[in-house]
Amino acid sequence: MSGGGFSRIKDAALEKSLLLLLRPKVQRYGELRHLRLDTTEKCLSAEIRLLGDPIPIEVRHARYRVDTGSAGCELTVYDVRLSKEWLQNLIDDRFPEMTVPLPAYVAPLL
Per-residue pLDDT tens over the stretch 72-96: 889 999 999 999 999 999 999 999 9
pLDDT at position 11 is 86
Domain boundaries, the chain: 3-109
pLDDT of the residue at 80: 96
pLDDT in tens, 27-73: 999 999 999 999 999 999 999 999 999 999 999 989 999 988 777 88
Give pTM, 2 decimals.
0.83
- Going by C-beta distance under 8 Å and a sequence separation of 6 or more, which residues neighbour residue 97? 76, 77, 78
The pLDDT of residue 108 is: 76
Alpha helices in 27-105 (DSSP H): 85-94
Query: Residue 17's pLDDT band (boundaries 50, 70, 90)?
Result: confident
Q: Write the CA distances from 42 to 36, 77, 78, integer angstroms.
A: 11, 10, 11
- pLDDT for 3 equals 58
**How buried is residue 32: exposed, middle or buried, by Cβ count under 10 Å (0-12/13-18/19+)?**
buried
Contacts 24+ apart (CB under 8 A), 77-84: 77/44, 82/57, 82/58, 83/57, 83/58, 83/59, 84/57
| d(C-alpha 50, C-alpha 22), whole Å | 14
